[in-house]
Chain A
Amino acid sequence: MIQGYYFPHGSSRRLLASITVDDRGFLRLHDEQGALLADGRWQQLQISPRLGSTPRFLDFADGSRFETSDNDAVDGLQQCWRQERGYHLLHRLESHWRLALASVVVVAVVSWWFLTIALPYAASQVAFVLPASALDRSAELSLSVMERIALKPSTLDEARQQQLQGLLVRLLPQSPAYNYRLLLRDGGAFGANAFALPDGTIVMTDQLVALADDDRQLSAVLAHEIGHVEARHSLRQVLQGSVIMVIAAVMAGDATAFGDLVGGVPTAVMDASYSRDFEREADRYALTLLASQGVDSEHFAVLLERLAASHDQADDTDVNYFSSHPPTAERVAAARAF
């Protein structure tokens, strides 16, 4: 006998009731006084799946409903009269502590594998299938924004500018796939800096030029920026970042599972982590390219140290999970070990 509440169709009226099922699967539902309220075959009921100790809802064909917390009795009858393999298996999965703890490990490992190996790999494959010009519009826009907020015309004289342009030309591949050009600018708020846009535009600031005491140090910077362009880092960052954003949005939108606890923090951490990986990749490209032209990797190390000193971040040896660059000490050590 299953005790519970009976809700007749069409209103919120509630009656204490009980269900008995005979050995042919025929059920009778009686109220407290023993009056018969409903009957029928057990197989014809619509029964909500087992979910821990959550109450079960048994729906009759006429729209009336029976609610009970006697999950075991319902399960017993279900096994007897109807095989619902899927949800039965699911409930067994959901009731084992050892399985739950093993799941924590599996979820952690698979998530880590997806985020650090599968997604970056897939993004790099897709990035090289897309046309090289995919981000040209975006590059133009970024440059015009930066010219408006910080960059000013270079104050270097014409001869010096020609020398620097020559540095770039010597580093470029035989038949470049991108329209490489070097823009020299007064950095303004950016200070000593250099960056590459996905269309092959490399911007180097006067302040960075002043920081170097040997043009081979500037060649090292240009080689690093060419590395970003050749490996299509911007495009890969866009693709990886989009996937991360979509996952985060689904998780945040699914308020029942994650609430607003997720926020933007993991997204920012992942973006920064990908960015650090790209910096390391560009460093390796630069060191290989410099070695092929007989430039000592020490020049790269020296410039990194000077840059760090000029940005007053000499003590960034701790790994900062939001930082877009690896710690300078690590990069310098990698350059000297090359």
Chain B
Amino acid sequence: MSDNATSPAVTVVAKTEAPIRTFTFRFSGDGGEFFKIWIVNLLLTVVTLGIYSAWATVRTSQYFYGHTKLDETGFQYLANPLSILIGRVIAVAIFGLVMLAASFQPMLYGVLMVLAIPAVPWLMVRAMRFNLRNTAYRNVRFDFVGTYGEAAKVFLLYYLGVILSLGLAGPWWLLQTKKFFINNVRYGDHAFDCSCPTKEFYILALITLGAIIPVLLVTVLLGWIPVIGQIVIFLAYLSIFALWQSWVRNMLFNHTRLAGDVQLSSNVTMFDLAMLYAMNALLVVVTLGIALPWVMVRTAKFYAERTAVQAANLDRFTASQNQVAGSAIGDEVAGVFALEVGI
């Protein structure tokens, strides 16, 4: 794998002639092995009254990052458990106080909720930055360069547009939020660029709305049958969800490039994803949660097998010169408020 070119002439030739290869992701973790890590995490978290949870988070992330391999090299999770612990303590304190305010001082709670709105974009930016700065591949760190101003524009100002347009701008807005997250990601010095056309999001929104009609019909026709009717309805709604999720993922990945010429690709099918969700739900419910580690591993395998990168080689990315690890506070506060910041 080493194309350790020694003279510039050789490098030029190698670059123009290097064929484009497809590198597939692979998840090499094992459910049984992770179960033992997971249960020790839970045990120590319970025994230490939650303090160990920060170390548990880091160990879980390191397991999943390390076993996610692209071209046989694993990803690396570099966050410091201590900074996660500090962030978590602050988040729990704020969250707990807000919860209590809701009961003891209803008026104060209302004021706090209004004040929280401008804090949401800040939390999202900080959470993204923390996670990406603590992610590395091939000794090069990722980063997130989205600013508070941009986030506020996309999530507050544009969202106002969605309300004023009575939802017609919804698909456009969704794409803007996805682009905000993707286009501000950096791998070393190199930018990701998502060029997904707005038209495709509108087509997908129409198809999803169209698919809801037969599902509503099924609900009305079969809803009265006990058990079987409910299972059919559950599967019908699951399919709609899987349709949307798989299309969005494929569309975004297949329109995203890194540094101009590294193409990402995803081929998740609606059926496979619906089966994954259904099996996961069944496993967790039947085993009362004990199967969660296996569910997490099979989910990671599922997505890895369906994700790839097309590039001539992966050797040419330069690390950024000025990178510092972000503080955990934004990340953990954001985490506790259960903000979805995933792409």
Which of A's residues lie within 8 Å of B, judged by CB?
A: 5, 7-16, 31-32, 48, 51-55, 57, 63-65, 67, 90, 93-97, 99-100, 103-104, 106-107, 110-111, 114, 134-135, 137-138, 141, 238, 241-243, 245-246, 249-250, 252-259, 261
Contact = CB atoms under 8 A, between A and B. Distances in A.
19 contacts: A10-B318, A13-B2, A14-B315, A53-B30, A54-B62, A54-B63, A54-B66, A63-B139, A90-B40, A93-B40, A95-B36, A99-B40, A103-B42, A107-B46, A137-B104, A245-B99, A246-B92, A250-B50, A250-B92
B137 A12 contact: yes
B140 A106 contact: no
A51 B37 contact: yes
A195 to B, nearest CB: 17
A104 B99 contact: no
Task: Enumerate the 7 nearest inter-chain pairs by beta-carbon distance, A residue then B residue, closest first.
Answer: A253-B335, A7-B139, A54-B66, A12-B138, A12-B317, A242-B99, A103-B43
A94 B32 CA distance: 11
A104 B290 contact: yes
Given A100-B36, A107-B42, 14 more contacts: A7-B138, A16-B1, A64-B139, A94-B40, A100-B40, A103-B42, A104-B290, A242-B96, A242-B100, A246-B99, A250-B50, A253-B335, A253-B337, A253-B338
A254 B53 contact: yes
B73 A67 contact: yes
B221 interface: no
Interface string B37-58: 1111111001100100100110
B164 to A, nearest CB: 30
A137 B105 contact: yes
B242 to A, nearest CB: 14
A250 B333 CA distance: 10
A65 B319 CA distance: 13
A32 B61 contact: no
Is the contact region of chain B dominated by helix, strand, or loop, or is it mixed?
helix
B330 interface: no
Interface in B273-292: 280-281, 284, 289-290, 292
B314 interface: yes
Contact of B39 (A100, A138, A250): A100
A52 B66 CA distance: 10
B165 interface: no
A249 B338 contact: yes
A252 B46 CA distance: 16
A250 B188 contact: no
Contact of B2 (A32, A94, A138, A255): A32
A52 B73 CA distance: 17
A14 B99 contact: no
B174 interface: no
Nearest to B285: A261
B322 to A, nearest CB: 13
Q: Choose among A138, A246, A250 the residue with the greatest number of B CB atoms under 10 Å from its CB.
A: A250
A72 to B, nearest CB: 15
Nearest to A57: B76
A67 B74 contact: yes
A274 B59 CA distance: 34
B251 to A, nearest CB: 22
B140 A54 contact: no
Contacts of B161: none
Contacts of B289: 261
A291 B317 CA distance: 82
A8 B318 CA distance: 11
Contact of A257 (B43, B60, B103, B316): B60
Contact of B56 (A5, A95, A252, A257): A257
B36 A94 contact: yes
A50 to B, nearest CB: 10
B244 interface: no
A53 B33 contact: yes
